């Protein structure tokens, strides 16, 4: 019998047992909901060190047969089959543990932010304009008008810095209409976003992100260790500082030449292997992203002494990008020029740009994909396994 605390052995012998009770316990279909009353007895052969000798049993809700997938069987099942019957799949202890780790990770992040003086906020998820143009937005009918699901809380985070909040974070759903069918993309995902005011440069933002990630990942490890539970294989050691590698240097490692271009999936995977050989570090920052690569990111600040470089960075874990952020442009005239250079109309961002009319401190921040982080920490082959009920191009149920 399995419940939230684990699996308990129910021991019954045919001889001397009420026939109705024996049939109930031996003939009821697997995965049925049952109630068993009995006495505990120590047993060295039982999984938990004890067993239950039943005096009565009741089938509360019988399960249909056959099951569409096994819960205790060690049989590989296609991911689509698992997701089609997600409730049964989530009964598996190994699958449940993924979401226990996820919950502990989020608790660790919240604890880290609280200790560092951040305020948790909630920003709108129905917008008139996206933070990065309309290419990856989900349009919706808004009382006869046109609106979009939020792809990022980026603009609102910056507005809150202008409101004097100084340090904010949000853990919330985000939506991207990218036609991607990969093991690391979703259309609905959980984003952890933070923004920090009064920073002097990109290093201040990087330091904050590193601190909260180290705390959250370390907090899960401590909690599992205290409970005597093994962590997933390959759990990263985050005790040492994360290497910080300039984009240009990383491009040289990959043998790139010519105009700078963003790293693709294969590039990121190769960089992860190189960093592992050079530093033995699972987590690392790619810094100083070229302005040409971030041309469409109009809020990315170009460095005053090196305008061809931004104060932007990525945080990668073994070749998988899990966070991106950097120094924001806080000067209104330059921000509006960036909006125009990105091919956008400043009038479409009037509410956002107004926040920069009345004094905006230098600031920066980041967005971190919780699903990808859980995927990597738990060694999952597909990011869909890191969400309870994932959504992609083809899946709207269950």
For residue 171, tell me if it sits in a domain.
yes
How high is the pLDDT of residue 243?
97
Share of the chain above pLDDT 90, in %: 85
For residue 75, tell me if it sits in a domain.
no
What are the residue numbers of the active site? Answer: 176, 178, 184-185, 321, 324, 372
Average pLDDT value for the chain:
93
Q: How far apart are CA 318 and CA 308, in angstroms?
A: 28
Q: pLDDT digit string (tens) for 157-171?
A: 999 999 999 999 999
- In this structure, the answer to whether residues 107 and 42 fall within a common structural domain is no
Domain end among 50, 66, 82:
66
For residue 88, tell me if it sits in a domain.
no
Tokens 């300039």 belong to residue = 246
- In this structure, the answer to whether residues 167 and 46 fall within a common structural domain is no
For residue 78, tell me if it sits in a domain.
no
Task: Return the CATH number at 49.
Answer: 2.40.50.140
- In this structure, the answer to whether residues 278 and 142 fall within a common structural domain is yes
For residue 338, tell me if it sits in a domain.
yes
How high is the pLDDT of residue 135?
63
Q: pLDDT digit string (tens) for 19-46?
A: 999 999 999 999 999 999 999 999 888 8
- In this structure, the answer to whether residues 213 and 310 fall within a common structural domain is yes
Where is 108: in which H helix or E strand?
helix 93-115
The lowest-confidence range among 111-125, 131-145, 215-229, 269-283 is 131-145
Q: How far apart are CA 235 and CA 224, in angstroms?
A: 12
Look at residues 101, 169, 90, 119 and name the one whose alpha carbon lies nearest to residue 373: 101
- In this structure, the answer to whether residues 172 and 279 fall within a common structural domain is yes
As given in the structure block, the two tokens for residue 6 are: 């684990």
Domain end among 17, 49, 66:
66
- In this structure, the answer to whether residues 18 and 137 fall within a common structural domain is no
Confidence of residue 47 (pLDDT cuts 50, 70, 90): confident
How many structural domains are present in the chain? 2
Confidence of residue 72 (pLDDT cuts 50, 70, 90): confident
For residue 133, tell me if it sits in a domain.
yes
Range of the domain at 190: 93-386
The answer to whether the CB of 310 falls within 8 A of the CB of 300 is: yes
The lowest-confidence range among 205-209, 213-217, 259-263 is 259-263
Q: How far apart are CA 288 and CA 285, in angstroms?
A: 10
User: Is 74 a residue whose pLDDT tops 90?
Assistant: no
Report CA 47 to chain centroid distance, whole Å: 33
- In this structure, the answer to whether residues 106 and 60 fall within a common structural domain is no
- In this structure, the answer to whether residues 276 and 333 fall within a common structural domain is yes
Confidence of residue 268 (pLDDT cuts 50, 70, 90): very high
- In this structure, the answer to whether residues 211 and 321 fall within a common structural domain is yes
How high is the pLDDT of residue 132?
61
**Strand 244-246 with 188-197, pairing:** unpaired
Task: Return the CATH number at 160.
Answer: 3.30.930.10
For residue 391, tell me if it sits in a domain.
no
- In this structure, the answer to whether residues 53 and 105 fall within a common structural domain is no
Share of the chain above pLDDT 70, in %: 98
Tokens 């979703």 belong to residue = 186
Residue 113, by phi and psi: left (phi above 0), alpha (psi -120 to 50) or beta?
alpha
Q: How far apart are CA 2 and CA 195, in angstroms?
A: 43
Show Cβ contacts of residue 343 under 8 Å, excluding neighbours closer than 6 positions: 133
- In this structure, the answer to whether residues 23 and 119 fall within a common structural domain is no
- In this structure, the answer to whether residues 102 and 47 fall within a common structural domain is no
For residue 43, tell me if it sits in a domain.
yes
Confidence of residue 178 (pLDDT cuts 50, 70, 90): confident
């Amino acid at each position: 019998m399995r419940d939230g605390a684990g699996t308990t052995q129910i021991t019954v012998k045919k001889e001397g047992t009420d026939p109705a009770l024996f049939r109930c316990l031996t003939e009821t279909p697997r995965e049925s909901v049952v109630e068993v009353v009995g006495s505990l007895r120590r047993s060295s052969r039982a999984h938990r060190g004890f067993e239950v000798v039943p005096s009565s049993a009741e089938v509360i809700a019988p399960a249909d047969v056959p099951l569409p997938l096994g819960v205790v069987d060690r049989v590989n099942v296609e991911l689509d089959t698992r997701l089609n019957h997600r409730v049964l799949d989530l009964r598996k202890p190994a699958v449940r543990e993924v979401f226990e780790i996820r919950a502990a990770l989020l608790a660790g992040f919240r604890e880290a932010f609280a200790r560092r003086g951040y305020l948790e906020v909630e920003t709108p998820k129905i917008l008139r304009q996206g933070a990065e143009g309309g290419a990856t937005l989900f349009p919706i009918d808004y009382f006869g008008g046109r609106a979009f699901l939020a792809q990022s809380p980026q603009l609102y985070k910056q507005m809150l810095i202008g409101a004097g909040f100084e340090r904010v974070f949000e853990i919330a759903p985000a939506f991207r209409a990218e036609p991607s069918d990969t093991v690391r993309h979703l259309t609905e995902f959980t984003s952890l976003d933070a923004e920090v005011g009064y920073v002097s440069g990109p290093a201040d933002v990087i330091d904050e992100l590193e601190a909260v990630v180290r705390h959250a990942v370390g907090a899960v490890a401590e909690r599992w260790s205290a409970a005597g539970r093994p962590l997933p294989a390959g759990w990263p050691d985050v005790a040492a500082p994360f290497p910080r590698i300039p984009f240009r240097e990383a491009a040289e490692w990959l043998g790139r030449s010519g105009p700078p271009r963003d790293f693709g999936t294969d590039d990121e995977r190769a960089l992860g292997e190189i960093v592992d050989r050079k530093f033995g570090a699972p987590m690392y920052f790619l810094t100083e992203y070229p302005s040409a690569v971030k041309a469409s990111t109009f809020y990315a600040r170009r460095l005053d002494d090196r305008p061809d470089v931004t104060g932007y960075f990525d945080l990668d874990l073994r070749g998988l990008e899990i966070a991106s952020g950097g120094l924001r442009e806080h000067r209104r005239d330059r921000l509006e020029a960036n909006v125009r250079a990105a091919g956008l109309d400043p009038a479409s961002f009037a509410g956002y740009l107004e926040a920069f009319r009345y004094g905006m401190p230098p600031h920066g921040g980041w967005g971190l994909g919780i699903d990808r982080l859980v995927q990597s920490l738990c060694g999952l082959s597909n990011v869909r396994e890191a969400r309870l009920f994932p959504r992609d191009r083809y899946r709207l149920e269950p």
